[in-house]
Amino acid sequence: MKMKKLIALSLTITLGVFTLAGCGGKTSTDNTGDKSAETKGGASITVVSSYGADDGNRGNFEEAVKAYEANTGNTVKESASNANEEWKASVHADFEVGAEPDVLFFFNGVDSNPLIEANAVVSIEEIRAEYPDYASNMKEDMMGASPVDGKNYSVPVNGFWEAMFCNKTVLEKSGVTIPTDGYTWDQFLADCEKISAAGYTPIAVSFHEVPHYWFEYCVLNNGGLANHLNVPAALDDEAGKAWVNGLSDMKELYDKGYLPDNALSAGDAETFQLMAEDKAAFAVDGSWKCGWFAENADPANFVVTTPPTKELRKSTELIGGISMGYYITRKAWDDESKRDACVEFVKQMTSDEVVSKFSSSGNVTALKNGAIPDPNANELIKTVTEMNGKVTNVIGAVQDTISGEQKTDLFGNVKIVCDGSMTVEEAVTSMLGK
Amino acid sequence: MNSMIYKNKKPLLVFLIPAFTIMLIYLYYPFAMNIYNSFSDIKGLGRAATGLNSPWYSNYIELFSDQKMKIAVLNTLKLMLCTIVFQVGIALVLALLIDNIRIGKNFFRIAYFFPIIISATALGLLFNLIFLYDGGMLNNFLELFTRHEVLIDWKDKSRWMFTMFAPIMWQYIGFYFVVIITGLNNISSELYEAAAIDGASGFKCIRYIKLPLLHNVLCTCLILAITGSLKVFDLPWTMMPTGMPLDQSWLTGTYMYHVTFNASNVDYGSTIAIVIVLLGIVIAQIANIVFKEKDYC
């Protein structure tokens, strides 16, 4: 009888321990399967980044981490995911419960505000008090200062640009010349008409999933640089007019039949595939798409150029910027055994060589000396370099200044506007009400 | 010795506590917090509540004017109806057919049960390729018959329901099929022999022996199907994310996920979650009353 009681008690305790084990405050972000981290002798740091499996720079990131480990003898336990809303939420949740990583590669705009307000990350100024050469290879004004206090907290790797990819084969078969500087909206509409008449889809886009690339340029075309980052307070203010006119331009493209037939019911992957299959002529997307062309199509068949423009925007003005960087968390900074390892990690991951490698698709960098040119760049990247050489201004995306709820509402309604079930004014008003 | 254990209830309690603790921590506490969150003002995922909404029940008011929520509830009810008719109905027909064949019974059992073991996300990706607009299997198949290019958008406003519901039906038919065929196997062969002596045909055997004796099994299947349809998420989300097309395909589960994780409106997402739970409780109770099992003892 005693034995049975003992067994019952042991089972209960075991179950209880297993149950509560998951409630521990320590996070395990290790996805490398390396359990020998603690026994190697060097420091072990945890790193969370957005260099997930789909990221074009995942290979470069892994290589740079391995190089850091080899150089320092430290070990990195890293966890990566794609930079979507869920990932942002999980990062914030980790900070809320005290399970933050030691180094974080994260956004430097409004998304980072809670981290700064909670004093959960260390400013570059504070780090430099002890490590004077920290981020000394970066241009101060391009590092992405926090909207909270204007201080720099993160060290950037590379930025992004958004521009128009053109399919040379489709343009040639449609009798359309490749767009160059000063390409106007009217010229663009005329070209779309020719392409459509030749039996091709003029624009590869999913207004169901990714209307924001066109939204940014249509708003910039109608509001100009000075107004671009202003969120409308009312429909009739300057920004409000730009948004209404911009959305009307997007609807015009849909109404004229320049988008894929299933633009309102297909995903981005499905519509963008039209570019690789020589079925569509134009697509507006970001610098990260260069890698996609290299893997899925012949990069030499594509050209990157600035999107069509209206009176208020010069064709050499692009959407782009540097929106992410490496943060050292307060928790790691206060831990003497990890401080050196974290500082060294960020220094190595943001060195001129590493940043240049990450920027091989012509991305913007904050390097004082500029990125080292890639001698093996493909034809597409050469056109990017050519385009970047002519750029006069780069401005951030206005969508980064509105809340997630507003963003979801606005972009979710683009397809409804195109379908005619909602007016452009109603879509903007709905967003303002969120 | 055994009788001693049952007289003394303490050991039983000791074994019940761990399971209850798990339920308390991972089910009841989060549910209670969810109710509280539905009245709170939460600025984003992973952020703590900044206080109560003003008025505290504002999310519940919004619920009644939210067109997407209305669509989600209606679609969920439609899915429930389709589940009853097609999942359980087709499973019953297939089970009755296979019960009458002698060769290949095991083959068909495995073949129909197979979709259950494939993950819903993988099935969603598979059906995405089948229903693909340009170069999809179904459109290519139709081209074989029509001899000209077929470009049907299976996810447009008029076809999305078939495209989304058909794979869900297909996936779970095998489950109910196996349950029903097990019920059929439990019917004594003496009843069939007696019926054969009385001259009952195959159809009469189904009408007067199999269906009445399957009553309880079918009731269980129907209750499982109804409650299961309230929880469908992964396959619709993979095939028709964010209400594709034009906010037509929302289900309560997919809409709650979208509001919480994409729009970061955590408190409103919590409100929708409560509606889902209430809907589940009410519908499960109605199903229990309508499909009450018969006691043959």
Cβ pair A96:B264 closer than 8 A: no
Select the residue of A1, A11, A416 nearest B246 (Cβ to Cβ). A416
Mean pLDDT rounded to a whole number for chain B: 88
Confidence of residue B60 (pLDDT cuts 50, 70, 90): very high
Closest-CA distance, B115 to chain A, in angstroms, reads 25
Strand A160-167 to strand A393-395: parallel, antiparallel, or no bridges (unpaired)? unpaired
Residue B184 CA: distances (Å) to CA of A319, B20, B88, B256 = 66, 37, 15, 40
SS3 B40: strand
Q: Which residues of B touch A94 (CB under 8 A)?
A: 46
CA distance A149 to A266: 42
Strand A324-328 to strand A155-156: parallel, antiparallel, or no bridges (unpaired)? antiparallel
* Residue B239 near residue B167 (C-beta atoms within 8 A): yes
> Residues of B near A (CB-CB distance < 8 A)?
1, 4-5, 11, 14-15, 17-18, 21-22, 25, 44-48, 132-134, 151, 153, 155-157, 160, 241-247, 258, 261-265
The pLDDT of residue A40 is 45
Select the residue of A265, A270, A412 nearest B156 (Cβ to Cβ). A265
Residue in the block written with tokens 């597409």:
A380
The set of residues, in sequence order, having a beta carbon less than 8 Å from that of B179 and lying 6+ positions away, is B91, B217, B220, B221
CA distance A164 to A383: 11
Would you give per-residue pLDDT tens digits along chain A (434 residues)? 566 666 666 766 765 555 555 444 444 444 443 333 343 458 999 999 988 876 768 888 999 999 999 999 999 999 988 777 678 878 888 888 889 999 999 988 888 988 999 999 999 999 999 999 999 999 887 788 888 898 999 999 878 889 999 999 999 999 999 999 889 999 999 999 999 999 999 999 999 999 999 999 999 999 998 889 899 999 989 999 999 999 999 999 999 999 999 999 998 889 999 999 999 999 999 888 888 888 888 999 999 999 999 989 998 898 988 888 999 999 999 999 999 999 999 999 999 999 988 887 667 788 887 777 777 788 888 888 888 778 888 888 898 888 878 888 999 999 999 999 999 999 999 999 87
Select the residue of B21, B133, B258 nearest A19 (Cβ to Cβ). B21
Closest-CA distance, A371 to chain B, in angstroms, reads 35
Select the residue of B22, B45, B151 nearest A261 (Cβ to Cβ). B151
In degrees rounded to 5, what are phi and psi of residue B160?
A: -60, -35
Q: Which residues of A touch B155 (CB under 8 A)?
A: 262, 265-266
CA distance A287 to A56: 10
Q: Does residue A408 belong to the interface with chain B, where contact is any CB pair within 8 Å?
A: yes
The pLDDT of residue A3 is 64
Domains (range + CATH), chain A = 24-158+323-358 (3.40.190.10), 160-321+378-432 (3.40.190.10)
Cβ pair B11:A1 closer than 8 A: no
What pLDDT, in 10s, does the model give residues B10-42?
788 888 999 999 999 999 999 999 999 999 998
Q: Which two tokens stand for residue A366?
A: 């904050």
Q: Which residues of A touch B46 (CB under 8 A)?
A: 89-96
CA distance A342 to A77: 12
Residue in the block written with tokens 């005290």:
A98
Task: Give chain B's count of helices (H) and strands (E).
Answer: 17, 0
The pLDDT of residue A136 is 92
Q: Does residue A205 belong to the interface with chain B, where contact is any CB pair within 8 Å?
A: no
* Residue A422 near residue A416 (C-beta atoms within 8 A): yes
Of the candidates A334, A292, A255, A320, the one whose C-alpha atom is nearest the C-alpha of residue A55 is: A292
Q: Which residues of A touch B44 (CB under 8 A)?
A: 89, 92, 114, 404
Q: Which residues of A touch B22 (CB under 8 A)?
A: 19
* Residue B129 near residue B137 (C-beta atoms within 8 A): yes
SS3 B51: coil
Q: Which two tokens stand for residue A424?
A: 């452009």
The pLDDT of residue A15 is 57
CA distance A328 to A119: 11
Cβ pair B247:A1 closer than 8 A: no
DSSP code at position B84: I
Q: Which two tokens stand for residue A358?
A: 């990450």
Residue in the block written with tokens 């989060």:
B30
The pLDDT of residue A35 is 36
CA distance A160 to A261: 30
CA distance B160 to A265: 9
Q: Which residues of A touch B247 (CB under 8 A)?
A: 412, 416
Cα nearest neighbour of A410 on chain B = B263
Verdict on whether the full-model pTM lies above 0.95: no
CA distance B136 to B232: 25
**Rg from Cα positions in chain B:** 24
Q: What is the 3-state secondary structure (H, E, C) of chain A?
A: CHHHHHHHHHHHHHHHHHHHHCCCCCCCCCCCCCCCHHHCCCCEEEEEECCCCCCCCHHHHHHHHHHHHHHHCCEEEEEECCCCHHHHHHHHHHHHCCCCCCEEEEECCHHHHHHHHCCCECCHHHHHHHCCCCCCCECHHHCCCCCCCCCCCCEECCCEEEEEEEEHHHHHHHCCCCCCCCCEHHHHHHHHHHHHHCCCEEECCCCCCCCHHHHHHHHHHHHHHHHHCCCCCCCCCHHHHHHHHHHHHHHHHHHCCCCCCCCCCCCHHHHHHHHHCCCEEEEEEECCHHHHHHHHCCHHHEEEECCCECCCCCCCEEEEECCEEEEEEHHHHCCHHHHHHHHHHHHHHCCHHHHHHHCCCCCCCCECCCCCCCCCCCHHHHHHHHHHHHCCEEECCHHHHCCHHHHHHHHHHHHHHHHCCCCHHHHHHHHHCC
The pLDDT of residue A154 is 94
Residue B79 CA: distances (Å) to CA of A26, B85, B217, B227, B250 = 42, 10, 21, 11, 11
With 0-12 / 13-18 / 19 or more C-beta atoms within 10 angstroms meaning exposed / middle / buried, residue A141 is: exposed
Residue B35 CA: distances (Å) to CA of A187, A313, B227, B276 = 56, 49, 21, 12
Q: How many CB pairs under 8 A join A and B?
A: 105
SS3 B240: coil
* Residue A305 near residue A191 (C-beta atoms within 8 A): no
* Residue B250 near residue B68 (C-beta atoms within 8 A): yes
Residues 275-304 of A with CB under 8 A from B: 279
Task: Quote the distance between the C-alpha of residue A139 and its chain's center.
Answer: 20
The pLDDT of residue A31 is 43
Q: Does residue A419 belong to the interface with chain B, where contact is any CB pair within 8 Å?
A: yes
The set of residues, in sequence order, having a beta carbon less than 8 Å from that of B159 and lying 6+ positions away, is B152, B153
Cβ pair B45:A416 closer than 8 A: no
In degrees rounded to 5, what are phi and psi of residue A166?
A: -120, 135
SS3 B129: helix
Cβ pair B21:A405 closer than 8 A: no
* Residue B168 near residue B79 (C-beta atoms within 8 A): yes
What pLDDT, in 10s, does the model give residues A88-122?
878 888 888 889 999 999 988 888 988 999 999 99
Mutate to test the interface with A, among B244, B258, B260 (most CBs of A within 10 A): B244
The pLDDT of residue A370 is 75
The set of residues, in sequence order, having a beta carbon less than 8 Å from that of B250 and lying 6+ positions away, is B68, B69, B71, B72, B75, B243, B258
What pLDDT, in 10s, does the model give residues B64-103?
999 999 999 999 999 999 999 999 999 999 999 998 888 8
CA distance A280 to A270: 12
The pLDDT of residue A4 is 67
Cβ pair B242:A279 closer than 8 A: no
Residue in the block written with tokens 């018959």:
B145
Closest-CA distance, A9 to chain B, in angstroms, reads 7
Closest-CA distance, B206 to chain A, in angstroms, reads 45
Select the residue of A96, A266, A273 nearest B46 (Cβ to Cβ). A96
Domains (range + CATH), chain B = 57-290 (1.10.3720.10)
Mutate to test the interface with B, among A1, A265, A414 (most CBs of B within 10 A): A265
With 0-12 / 13-18 / 19 or more C-beta atoms within 10 angstroms meaning exposed / middle / buried, residue A105 is: buried
Cβ pair B44:A209 closer than 8 A: no
Closest-CA distance, B262 to chain A, in angstroms, reads 6
Q: Does residue A1 belong to the interface with chain B, where contact is any CB pair within 8 Å?
A: yes
Q: Which residues of B touch A1 (CB under 8 A)?
A: 1, 4
Closest-CA distance, B119 to chain A, in angstroms, reads 21
CA distance B157 to B244: 9
The set of residues, in sequence order, having a beta carbon less than 8 Å from that of A258 and lying 6+ positions away, is A192, A196, A201, A202, A203
Tell me the β-bridge partners of A203: A282
Of the candidates A272, A392, A262, A287, the one whose C-alpha atom is nearest the C-alpha of residue B154 is: A262
CA distance B121 to A276: 26
Select the residue of B4, B160, B262 nearest A408 (Cβ to Cβ). B262
Burial B2-16 (b: 16+ CB within 10 A, else e): eeeeeeeeebeeeee
Q: Which residues of B touch A23 (CB under 8 A)?
A: 25
CA distance B152 to B154: 6
